[in-house]
Structure 1
């Protein structure tokens, strides 16, 4: 296949919105080999390692831990790289993030960063357990296993290797998984998902005297992660973390906190022009559906799901579904819908009451993906809307049971009064 066919930077905005990024077309085996090699290089001489989600919240935890170990990287090289990207964007227009050289030699911190997601957590644990030095300090941040069995063996291997394992998170944990992780020997701290972000949990859990800028970083990160939208700087953090390498984000916020340098702000503003165009494209193709008691906005596209969800809420949606070209989907709720994690749990996913993700198990071959792209995710939309319907049925049954119980209690009271 010619590389030009999968180069996103060559696509019109409409086609870029409908197709996945270049990395989607690389085989998993290649990704796995590269990921394993990167983990090995990162951890082999480290004194500590952090396995974290690579959004602003997870990376905020990494920045805190590096500060505690006095292992924050020199930011100068990263600022020079930002300046080069700004120059390219201004001269040539949008470039594909995945054109950037991931193998470029960068300075390494003695606190290694291993990026992971909910579905790759087991692999990350296994690789760190295999390649990290004996008696390393290990941390897991902003990640939650749906079931303990998914990470049981890998976590046990890491506990055998490490001097200590600490886990800081704010997602929805079930009691059984929480108990099992703690019983295994992990220091686990889980904050309230609707009150704290993982950066905040990490800040209060680490035995270190952080100065005020770290408290501010946690507060601004929380503003975006909990979708409070009270501090405009939180969008800068979230966008920057999404658009650049994890190491760059950690180095920059480690040096500057929430007050990002001018060249970074310039880069963010350049990127936001295309970001808004992709948001508008997704909103233009959105549909509004009624499912049980809820109004659900459903759309498709490569876009920023939080802003699209906000746009759908402004159109009256209680919940928003954004199906992505790569096959996954984001589900966002509101004050009128706090069951996003329940819907996602029906479709191979999970998350928070107001923010969750999933990937329907409906893609058997490339023809299924071709159908996905050419129909704007029609099959995935049907599967997710059916999950909404099942949750609506459960809610109705629960309501009937509660009404029945209340009626029975009232009848009992009446009988006692009569007697």
Structure 2
């Protein structure tokens, strides 16, 4: 493929935000090779391993765990790399820029091999890659390590069963911290393997809160403050302006960099990081505006559901759509997945997502409908702004609306009978 076809430079925002980032066009086979190599380099020889969601909440947990092992990396190299990146990024439109966590190890970046430096290895994963991450720990970890899993909730037990059985036999301990909505049977199966599973109230705590209160360590006040600011964004409380800085920075940096910087500074990011975040927000704001303008509102039962499409910051788009009267917002992404965000008037996001290959919280969930068989399906997805994906998600909203209406009718009958 001609690199110019996926190069955003010179292309109008109205066009390139309808396509996935360049990483989407990188073959999975090559990406898997690289990920496998990095996992081996990360895990081999480690005293402990953390598998964490790569967002601000999951990475805050990783930083806390490294603190308990006195295993944090030196922040100075990262600060120098951030300053250099800010200077070079004036014309770069992309997010998730190459840094120490994304580099191929062949650059002059002093943070390129950061993933190999701490005795507490960090593997970033999502709910759909948790099984793979666990298998990589099985393959490369020494016997007797401590394993931590943070801010990840498996929808089913079967995909992780074999790896978890192996790790239960080889690890000194397995501790799992989370705050998502767990299926009772999945939670029971995990605990039966000897895992110390601690799940917080998803409406009151983020996983950083859970990790902070569960680890047997005397954390100073900055860690409590970090958990509070992380919660402010993760639960969409939005009372502390620093929480947006943390969320944006975690999105635009690699896991090693983020965990190291917040481990050193907590919620009060250093000036070099704040300058970097501000430089990226110009692009972020333009993407949000484009997604909001593409939105269309649908009436589903008693709900106003705003649906849009594009590569953007879904939480901010959802917030803007709520301010315009939406009870729920759906942001369909060019890579095929979608984010579902609710409100006080809509607390069924996880139920909708569960019907289309996803899950999450009552007011925040994600999914990727199983509708993409080949590149022609993706081509249709891009040229129609996610028409098929929108259709199946709206059908899921309709189904949930019917269930809610039926439940309310049953409750009314029961009240009348009393």
Show the counterpart of 1:417.
Answer: none
**TM-score (norm: length of structure 1):** 0.95
Q: Deviations over 1:93-135 (max 9, x none)?
A: 5356455562233332110001110011001011101101110
Q: Residues 268-417 of structure 1 correspond to what in structure 2 (within 5 A)? A: 268-409=277-418
Aligned to 1:155: 164
Residues 9 and 63 (structure 1), Cα distance of their counterparts in 2 relative to 1, 3 Å cut: farther
Look up the match of 1:81: 81
CA-CA distance at 1:192 after TM superposition: 0.2
For residue 416 of structure 1, what is the aligned residue in structure 2? none
Distance 1:257 1:20, change over 3 A: same
Work out the CA distance in 1 between the residues paired with 2:289 and 2:299. 22
State how far apart, in whole Å, the 2-side matches of 1:314 and 1:346 are: 27
Q: CA RMSD in A?
A: 1.2
CA distance in 1, matches of 2:94, 2:332: 24
Any conservation in 2 of the 1:220–1:258 contact (CA below 8 Å)?
A: yes
Mapped contact 2:96–2:254 kept (Cα < 8 A): no
Return the match for 1:110 from 112, 119, 131. Answer: 119
Q: Contact between 2:61 and 2:150, CA under 8 Å: does it hold in 1?
A: yes
Which aligned pairs between 1:140-151 and structure 2 lie closer than 5 A?
A: 140-151=149-160
CA distance in 2, matches of 1:6, 1:305: 22
1:264–1:348: structure 2 CA closer, same or farther, 3 Å change rule? same
Is 2:96–2:251's contact at 8 Å kept on the other side of the alignment?
no
Residue aligning to 1:169:
178
CA contact (8 A) 2:50 2:149 kept: yes
| CA shift in 2, pair 1:95/1:278, >3 Å | closer
Counterpart contact for 1:170–1:201, Cα < 8 Å: yes
Query: Which residue is equivalent to 2:54?
Result: 54
Q: What is the 5 A alignment of 1:3-152?
A: 3-90=3-90, 92-94=91-93, 97-98=96-97, 102-104=103-105, 105-107=112-114, 108-152=117-161
Secondary structure of the 1:151 match is helix
Kindly report structure 1 stretches of 4+ aligned residues shifted beyond 6 Å.
none
Native 8 Å contact 1:7 1:96 kept in 2 = no
Distance (Å, rounded) in 2 between the aligned partners of 1:321 and 1:62: 30
2: CA distance between counterparts of 1:276 and 1:42? 35
Q: Distance in 2 between matches of 1:400 and 1:31?
A: 51
Match of 1:192 among 201, 206, 209: 201
Corresponding residue pairs, total: 408
The answer to which of 101-110 and 37-46 deviates more is 101-110
Residue aligned with 1:203, SS: helix
CA distance in 2, matches of 1:98, 1:229: 26
* Aligned equivalents of 1:26, 1:124: Cα separation in 2: 20
Contact 2:63–2:260 under 8 Å retained in 1: yes
Q: Do 1:172 and 1:193's aligned partners in 2 also have CA atoms closer than 8 Å?
A: yes
Change (3 A) 1:18 1:375: same
Q: Which runs of 5+ in 2 are unaligned?
A: 106-111
Counterpart of 2:109 in structure 1 is: none
Which has the larger Rg? 1
Normalised to the residue count of structure 2, the TM-score between the two structures is 0.95
Query: Aligned equivalents of 1:232 and 1:96: distance in 2?
Result: 21
Mapped partners of 1:338, 1:40: distance in 2:
41
Distance of 1:138 and 1:402 partners within structure 2: 45
State the alpha-carbon separation in 1 of the partners of residues 284 and 368 from structure 2. Answer: 23
Pick the aligned partner of 2:233 from 196, 202, 224. 224
1:215 to 213, 224, 227: 224
Secondary structure in 2 matching 1:290:
strand
Q: Distance in 2 between matches of 1:327 and 1:395?
A: 28
CA shift digits 1:293-314 (9 cap, x unpaired): 1000100000000000001001
Do 2:9 and 2:92's aligned partners in 1 also have CA atoms closer than 8 Å? no
Please say if residues 53 and 126 of structure 2, whose CA atoms lie closer than 8 Å, have aligned partners that are also in contact.
yes
What is the match of residue 108 of structure 2? none
Separation in 2, partners of 1:17, 1:215 = 37
